[in-house]
Copies of this chain bind each other. A is one copy, B any other.
Amino acid sequence: MIVVLGRDATPDQIRNVEAELRAMGYSIHPIYGVEKTVIGAVGAPDRDKEQDADRLRSLGCVEEVMLILRPYKFVSRESRAASTEVDVDGVVVGAERVVVMAGPCTVEARDQVLETARAVHRAGATILRGGAFKPSTSPYGFQGLGEDGLKILAEAKEETGLRIVTEVMDPRNVELVSRYADLLQVGTRNMQNFDLLKEVGQGKKPVLLKRGMSAKLDEWLHAAEYVCVKGNPNVILCERGIRTFEAYTRNTLDLSAVPAAKELSHLPVVVDPSQGTGRWSLVGPMSKAAVAAGADGLLIEVHPHPEQAVKDGPQSLKFDRFAQLMVEVASVARAVGRCV
């Protein structure tokens, strides 16, 4: 921890800060500059550094406090150099193969899901996506089929062998959704729903953690840490676009978050270009770009008839476009030493 004192700090105030730091258990290294005093504080491995920093910032004479160590223990690359592979009922995310998770935004009906499952399976996807519990901005929007939707997904798995990823929103439903899903999705709006994170952290199912739409990398990794610290190390990070001033796209897909998250953490990172752009015409280019940037997988919305989708039709691909995209993605994957 580095504590910068204001230009006007008196000798008394400086001594006071030093005493405070010692009382917290730190060993201190003051640097008395011509204009300002800076105090380095090291040691005290068990202290909550962010809390200590906040306390010091409250002292009138302290101008700034900077932390040195990254505050997460489980998810940081510093704590574990080797990249983590997450096993989703036999499909491994984070290994050589780029894993494609495809399917409709929303589970609407049995036929729609089964038809889509067959199509994406045929094209090479290995995980089926589809929402049974839907976060809808408006209370008048479709909220999902609930358990009936989960049963349809299970039937699709039974027939095609595709694994299932689906969202859970309410901590009270984690057990229910876990009975059907192979991978639990925590959505962008719930990235800091800490009670939900704790609940999925206590389970055994792997977790797909979407980045909050205004979450910094640091906050995203903290959210992953919430899951891991409860005992579940199987977290897959998912970049899905952040909120910016640009309105042409639904969100701004931050692909630099892929290599950046992989620098900071050993967890696998996948990308959702459908949510990330909101336009099907951009899904193809951004899928290929994601793989070129090092993504371990893709989430792609596919629908038999996008114009009849209850949600997110504008960003859904038709079957033939998806099949074509899989060929193109495979080509890019090979170019970066991977496969699909």
Contact = CB atoms under 8 A, between A and B. Distances in A.
Interface of A: 2, 4, 7, 20, 29, 31, 33-36, 38, 40, 42-43, 45, 48, 50-51, 54-59, 66, 68-69, 71-72, 78, 135-143, 169-172, 189-190, 192-195, 213-214, 216-219, 222, 225-226, 229-230, 242-249, 252-260, 263, 276-277, 279-282, 284-286, 288-294, 306-314, 316, 328, 331-332, 334-336
B225 A139 contact: yes
B217 A243 contact: no
A177 to B, nearest CB: 13
A142 B52 CA distance: 12
Nearest to A36: B68
Contact of A332 (B226, B247, B292, B308): B292
Contacts of A135: 192, 194
B58 A313 contact: yes
Contact of A172 (B171, B219, B243): B171
B255 A246 contact: no
Contacts of A35: 69
A328 B337 CA distance: 10
Q: Which of A2, A40, A137, A256 is most buried by chain B, counting CB atoms within 10 A of its CB?
A: A256
B281 A263 contact: yes
A307 B4 CA distance: 16
B136 A194 contact: yes
Contacts of A279: 260
Contacts of A276: 256
A78 B244 CA distance: 27
B137 A192 contact: yes
Nearest to A312: B54
Given A142-B48, A171-B171, A214 B245 contact: yes
Contact of A288 (B140, B308, B336): B336
Contacts of A306: 58
Contacts of A51: 141-142, 310-311
A68 B245 CA distance: 21
Contact of A57 (B31, B143, B293, B314): B314
Contact of A289 (B282, B289, B308): B289
Nearest to A170: B195
B2 A138 contact: no
Contacts of A288: 292-293, 335-336
Nearest to A4: B68
Given A56-B307, A314-B54, A328 B332 contact: no
30 contacts: A2-B38, A4-B68, A7-B78, A29-B29, A34-B43, A34-B45, A40-B40, A51-B310, A51-B311, A56-B307, A58-B309, A58-B313, A71-B138, A137-B192, A137-B219, A139-B194, A169-B193, A169-B195, A189-B193, A189-B194, A190-B193, A214-B243, A242-B245, A253-B254, A255-B255, A255-B289, A256-B277, A256-B285, A285-B292, A288-B335
